[in-house]
Amino acid sequence: MPSLHELRGRAWCFGADISTDMLSPGQYVHHPMPERLRHVLEAARPEFAGAVRPGDIVVAGPNFGCGSSRESAPQHLVDLGVAAVVADSLARIFARNAIAVGLPVLTCPGISAATRDGDLVAVDVAQGRVTVGDGGSVLSADRIPEPMLDVLRHGGIEPLLRTMAAAQAAAGDLPPSAPGAAASL
């Protein structure tokens, strides 16, 4: 399971009101996944999808993830290797969808003012702490409730459900062929 204490990466900074349509542009919804991923955040930063590296961290102003309830928006960030999103504020449905796909997201007032592109950002998701730069600013983020941290520790809701079903099957509480068992997920 991923550690929620040691996420470290290069910052990609964005402004306010980054919508789910910027994260997952609707005009590419029926295109193959590699094509869809090439357009993630291109309306805000055309170079992002081609230059983001696994482990990088998205830092944003207020209202990140606003717009529709597009589940593909946080999934595209995961697919590009983004380790976490830290924003001044997050749209609630985006935050819930992100947790469901295993993407750590934190609301951290003041993060956008404290961070510049390329800064090293260290995120302790479990403690709600964000450090900008080596020995730099330490900011407090809103803590994520324990049940949601458990979802993140498992890498998302589907892996958590598979683990729970396997444990039930192993304990004899759920036959492996029963609906909801690990084999059917």
Average pLDDT, the chain: 91
What pLDDT, on a 0 to 100 scale, did the predictor assign at position 142? 96
| CATH number of this structure's domain 7-143 | 3.20.19.10
Would the pLDDT of 5 be above 80?
A: no
Averaged pLDDT, 32-43: 92
Q: How far apart are CA 134 and CA 58, in angstroms?
A: 18
Averaged pLDDT, 141-155: 94
Would the pLDDT of 132 be above 70?
A: yes
Would the pLDDT of 4 be above 90?
A: no
Contacts of 122 (CB under 8 A, 6+ apart): 6, 7, 8, 130, 131
The residues spanned by each domain of the chain are 7-143, 154-185
Model-level pTM?
Answer: 0.89
- 145-153 contact pairs (CB < 8 A, 24+): 148/99, 149/4, 149/125, 151/99, 151/100, 151/102, 152/2, 152/4, 152/99, 152/102, 152/104, 152/125, 153/1, 153/2, 153/4
What pLDDT, on a 0 to 100 scale, did the predictor assign at position 22? 95
Tens of pLDDT, residue by residue over 159-181, are 899 988 988 888 887 555 655 55
Lookup result for tokens 């789910």? 20
Averaged pLDDT, 132-153: 92
CA distances to 67, 81, 118, 148, 151 from 145, rounded to whole Å, are 24, 24, 29, 6, 10
pLDDT over 90 percentage in the chain: 75
Would the pLDDT of 156 be above 50?
A: yes
Q: How far apart are CA 27 and CA 19, in angstroms?
A: 14
Residue 144 phi/psi, 5° resolution? -90, 135
Averaged pLDDT, 25-31: 88
What pLDDT, on a 0 to 100 scale, did the predictor assign at position 184? 47
Tens of pLDDT, residue by residue over 45-95, are 999 999 999 999 999 999 999 998 888 999 999 999 999 999 999 999 999
